[in-house]
């Protein structure tokens, strides 16, 4: 799955509406326009996504685990040299899986 597809499914899970220009991933979050929304690269966007979806995030020595309460979804992501990027990707992947299950 491409990063674009991950972001679109994650936005769907969080009920975030992508703007018309999806090349910039412009979104409207709770009535506020954001020119770019990318929780894969932005810590703040990733944290807001995790909070909105009520995720619990646990870190282990070699992987980050994102757990969504309620349906016990787990997403394992290998920690790379950039542990922050790995955690953001785990959050987005978990959100994308939630988005996949939505109609």
Distance CA 50, CA 55 (A): 5
pTM for this structure? 0.79
Nearest CA to 46 out of 34, 55, 59 is that of 55
Distance CA 103, CA 32 (A): 25
Which residues on adjacent β-strands are paired with residue 68?
Answer: 55, 73
Distance CA 1, CA 100 (A): 12
The domain of 68 spans: 3-100
Q: Look at the chain and report how many structural domains it folds into.
A: 1
pLDDT recorded at residue 34: 56
- Condensed to tens digits (0 to 9), the pLDDT of residues 17-43 reads 776 554 445 555 555 555 678 899 999
Q: The domain that contains 28 carries what CATH number?
A: 3.30.2120
């Amino acid at each position: 799955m491409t990063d674009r597809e991950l972001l679109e499914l994650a936005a769907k899970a969080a009920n975030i509406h992508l703007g018309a220009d999806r090349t910039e991933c412009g979104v409207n979050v709770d009535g506020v326009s954001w020119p770019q929304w990318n929780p894969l690269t932005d810590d703040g966007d990733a944290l807001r996504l995790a909070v909105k979806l009520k995720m619990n995030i646990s870190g282990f020595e070699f992987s980050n685990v994102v757990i969504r309460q309620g349906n016990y979804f787990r997403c394992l992501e290998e920690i790379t040299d950039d542990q922050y990027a790995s955690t953001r990707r785990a959050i987005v992947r978990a959100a994308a899986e939630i988005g996949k299950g939505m109609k």
